[in-house]
A and B are shown apart, each in its own frame.
Chain A
Amino acid sequence: MGSLEEILTGFQVAISLEGIMFVLLGVFVGTFIGMLPGLGPITAIAIMIPITYGMDPALALVMMAGVYYGAVFGGSTSSILLNAPGISGTVASSFDGYPMAQNGQAGKALAIAAISSFIGGTISVVLLMAFAPMLSSVAVSFGPPAYFALMLLGLTAIASLSEGSTLKALISAVVGFMVATIGIDPQTGTARFDFGVPRLLDGIDFLVIALGLFAISEVGYLVINRFKASFASAKELGSLKLSKQDLKDISGPAGRQSILGFILGILPGAGATIASFIGYISEKRISKNPEKFGKGYIKGLAGPETANNAATSGSFVPLLSLGIPGSGTTAVMLGAFLVLGIQPGPMLMGDHPDVFWGVIASMYIGNIFLLVLNLPLIPYIARVLTTPRPLLISLVMMFSLIGVYSISFSTFDLYLLLGFGVLGFLMRMFAFPAPPFILAFILGGMMEQSFRQAMTSSQGNLSVFFTNNISLALIILSVLSFAFPIIQSMRQKKKQA
């Protein structure tokens, strides 16, 4: 922890009138952009960089940070209401959030997302303030073998993401892996599976796949079953009432995932998306009622929503204390720092304590603003679902198309989006679950790269995965995680027999 005096300087920046105004502006823009499917914090921050030119650096960065965590905060809205993830970190929020909305609990789901996000955001800022300078060593402690083991642990969750046939879940995951290999291979520079299309050399963007498999396929499903299904039933849309039991249900995941999400956020490359998936999976693993997940269970929504917001604060650790951007968004944030003449890195805390602590201190205020801003709006936002269905379906289509187009300005990606929409639709018709596909796609690319980096550095010696303590611990956890459900089901069978 820095000296008390320095931290107070930070609060001075954050609590000043301008400070509060810029935080408010930042989180307002962020939460709005986050709500729109496809548009995320990267676009928002990049576009705002020229505006901040000449501004006081501390205030400008307070605002930029607000855009970032505001977008993660708002990103769950369209995941819950429309099954169309607002940003990549909120895909897992739709697993239980969307079923909740379909069960007539849209308002409640949004309230749970807002409260979990607030808790995740706030607890992680406390951790950030207390440990940021020390935690930088955690960020550098992960080498390629440890990353590989971490991804392996994530993958053991495929079985728990599947409803029904494990075989179908595995097939879905394998296809996800295959799609992850498309593009230029970073370790050799060779193009793989590009079919001569230059647009495929960079691989396929995560949001194209997420919006295709979830939002577009849902649209197809609604059109086909137009008399049966609906985005959500219209009763009790706006009710935010949370019972004591609901709050109790949130408290467990919120407490655990604030810490786990924060730690995953610290690791460069892991970030909010992986944290939200692991948040979902780990809650399901330790739950006494795993069968409730995926059907509109409060804990299944609170887990990932807490984790992705906590991870966002976590990602400021390597950025601020090491100058290492761990994700696309933090890379653009780094650019924003540079424009303002501030170089993030190990010297930042000493050179510019007002910036370092100002950004962190403003996050407390930003999170409160987000909660105050979002909660009263929920009844109105939830009303979106009462929009006549043909209109709503067209809007989902339009937002998905615009969101994808804004990533690359390429019509090719629009065809890809529709292609994945058709794939998602077919998968749904034949009961292949989509979450394992998405999980394998996210983890697969990083898993392959870290495996091969480890192999190159060790001249092909597989023992690196066991001589590194972190990697060894994670591999043991993976084995346990894999074996545990099998042992459990064997026991149950014994009991029955």
Chain B
Amino acid sequence: MRKVLASSLFALMLIVLAACGGGDSESAEGNGSDESSESSGDNGESSSEESSWTPAGSIEVVAPAGAGGGWDTTARMTAQTLTEEGIIEQDMGVVNKPGAGGAVGWSYIANQNDPHNIFVSSSPLLLVPLNGQSEHTYEDFTPIANVIADYGAFVTGPDAEWDTLDELFQDMKDGNASEITVVGTSAPGSMDHIQFIRFARAAGVDVSNISYVSDPDAGGVTQVMNGSADVFSTGIGDVTEQIRSGDVKPLAVTSEERLDGDTLGEIPTAKEQGIDETFVNWRGFFGPPDMTDAQVAYYENKLKEMSDSEAFADIRENYAWDEMYMDSEEYQTFLEEENQVFKDILSDLDMLEE
């Protein structure tokens, strides 16, 4: 009797395991081998029927990161809206391909080269390759559409001597740059660092002796609150509550115009402080290297429809994301310009790897 119970308990464990472990990968495996043959047949068809393409099987939305981060959330919310609003009828599965700041997921997409796989990315798709840490660059993929944006912010501790970004930069220009420490979540050469350098450079600060520390355990807020570091360069969403409570002091937001909202609306942009620079943390979808125009058009339309839906507007509001729709063509041009700016900044810092 007891043995039966013990083994049935194990069986139950197995079921739970299958249910949670398989949840993510199910759809990925489901369309594995049989689908690659289908889709290659489909590719042939679409050349004769250029104007329309519909997926032959389920669609896989890849988040090139682990569960819970920005890319993962965007992928999950997009898949959820597209399915629940009935915009896409095919099954959609979100698959996490974490590793190497995204490079593992990107090489997966490039190797599969299947139009049923799309993935979400943002600035790291440009920065990681420029840092020499990915064999694929943004040029290896097909931009489909950008969907959302959020913005960066620079904050200090509540008692810091600077009240604006401009005052901070003036102080740095007066020869105090080496005494000022900037903290960010990511490593040098990646977003938080480059965001700060981008504005410092525009203000005419010598960027070669800015000291930057990375605190990957989300300790940036604590570091400026207890005075271990002077400035925290981060996304506005990560510090909104602390700004509202007065635990940190905002110096500037990186958007073109002031943001909406009681607290956010009071934060000056860098532009109005006379620093002619902006930074948008865009986030959008890309497809594999070889996509036909019809395939791009299919996803472009679906994502446009999703972006315009009320359901997605609610999601944007919950996460404090801004609407920023760009179609494939606009996106391509935008990415080329951004990539050039990053290249210039990294070569100023002597960090460019090519």
A interface residues (Cβ-Cβ under 8 A, vs B) = 32-33, 35-36, 39, 42-47, 49-50, 53, 139-145, 184-189, 191, 198-199, 201-202, 238, 268-269, 322-328, 331-332, 335, 338-341, 343-348, 379-381, 383-384, 386-387, 395, 399, 402, 405-406, 408-410, 446, 449, 452-454, 456-457, 459
Q: A341-B318, A347-B241, A395-B10 are in contact. List 15 more A-B contacts (CB 8 A).
A: A140-B225, A188-B188, A189-B131, A201-B101, A202-B101, A268-B219, A322-B242, A328-B68, A340-B318, A345-B244, A346-B242, A386-B6, A402-B17, A409-B24, A410-B99
Given contacts A142-B222, A338-B318, A408-B98, contact A201 B103 (CB under 8 A): yes
Chain B residue nearest to A48 in the complex (CB): B20
Given contacts A269-B217, A406-B21, A456-B213, contact A42 B68 (CB under 8 A): yes
Residues of A within 8 A of B318 (CB): 338-341
> Restricting to B76-130, which residues have a CB under 8 Å from any CB of A?
76, 80, 95-101, 103-104, 107
Given contacts A144-B223, A189-B131, contact A384 B10 (CB under 8 A): yes
Residues of B within 8 A of A32 (CB): 13, 16
Q: How far is the CA of A328 from the CA of B99 in the complex (A)?
A: 15
Chain B residue nearest to A459 in the complex (CB): B178
Residues of A within 8 A of B183 (CB): 453
Chain A residue nearest to B239 in the complex (CB): A323
Q: How far is the CA of A341 from the CA of B216 in the complex (A)?
A: 25
Count of interface residues, chain B, beta-carbon cutoff 8 Å: 73
Q: How far is the CA of A409 from the CA of B66 in the complex (A)?
A: 10
Given contacts A383-B6, A387-B7, contact A457 B68 (CB under 8 A): no
B9 pairs with A387, CB closer than 8 A: no
A198 pairs with B10, CB closer than 8 A: no
Fill in one digit per residue for B51-74: 1 if any A CB lies within 8 Å of its CB, else 0: 000000000000000111100110
B interface residues (Cβ-Cβ under 8 A, vs A) = 2-3, 5-7, 9-10, 13, 16-17, 20-21, 23-25, 66-69, 72-73, 76, 80, 95-101, 103-104, 107, 131, 133-135, 178-179, 181, 183, 186-190, 211-219, 221-223, 225-229, 240-242, 244-245, 247, 317-319, 351
Residues of A within 8 A of B69 (CB): 331, 335
Residues of A within 8 A of B72 (CB): 46
B214 pairs with A347, CB closer than 8 A: no
Chain A residue nearest to B222 in the complex (CB): A140
B99 pairs with A202, CB closer than 8 A: yes
Q: How far is the CA of A344 from the CA of B188 in the complex (A)?
A: 28
A186 pairs with B216, CB closer than 8 A: yes
The minimal Cβ–Cβ distance linking B56 to chain A, given in whole angstroms, is 24
A343 pairs with B218, CB closer than 8 A: no
Chain B residue nearest to A445 in the complex (CB): B216
B228 pairs with A186, CB closer than 8 A: no
B242 pairs with A345, CB closer than 8 A: yes
Instruction: Please tell me which one of the listed residues A144, A268, A335, A457 contacts residue B218 in the complex, with CB atoms under 8 A apart.
Output: A268
Chain A residue nearest to B217 in the complex (CB): A269
The minimal Cβ–Cβ distance linking A487 to chain B, given in whole angstroms, is 35
The minimal Cβ–Cβ distance linking A39 to chain B, given in whole angstroms, is 6
Closest 7 CB pairs of A and B: A345-B241, A346-B245, A46-B67, A143-B228, A332-B68, A383-B6, A201-B100
A36 pairs with B16, CB closer than 8 A: yes
Instruction: Please tell me which one of the listed residues A140, A269, A346, A383 contacts residue B226 in the complex, with CB atoms under 8 A apart.
Output: A140
A189 pairs with B241, CB closer than 8 A: no
B21 pairs with A457, CB closer than 8 A: no
Given contacts A144-B228, A187-B213, A322-B242, contact A139 B222 (CB under 8 A): yes
Q: How far is the CA of A38 from the CA of B216 in the complex (A)?
A: 23
Residues of B within 8 A of A346 (CB): 241-242, 244-245, 247
A189 pairs with B187, CB closer than 8 A: yes
Residues of B within 8 A of A45 (CB): 68
| 18 interchain pairs, CB-CB under 8 A | A43-B67, A45-B68, A46-B68, A47-B67, A143-B227, A144-B228, A186-B216, A187-B214, A188-B188, A322-B222, A332-B67, A338-B319, A345-B245, A384-B6, A453-B223, A454-B228, A456-B212, A457-B211
A42 pairs with B190, CB closer than 8 A: no
Q: How far is the CA of A45 from the CA of B20 in the complex (A)?
A: 11
Residues of A within 8 A of B244 (CB): 345-347
Q: How far is the CA of A286 from the CA of B12 in the complex (A)?
A: 42
B21 pairs with A189, CB closer than 8 A: no
Instruction: Please tell me which one of the listed residues A191, A380, A453 contacts residue B228 in the complex, with CB atoms under 8 A apart.
Output: A453
Residues of B within 8 A of A141 (CB): 226
Residues of A within 8 A of B100 (CB): 184, 198-199, 201-202
A47 pairs with B218, CB closer than 8 A: no
B229 pairs with A457, CB closer than 8 A: yes
Q: How far is the CA of A347 from the CA of B226 in the complex (A)?
A: 19
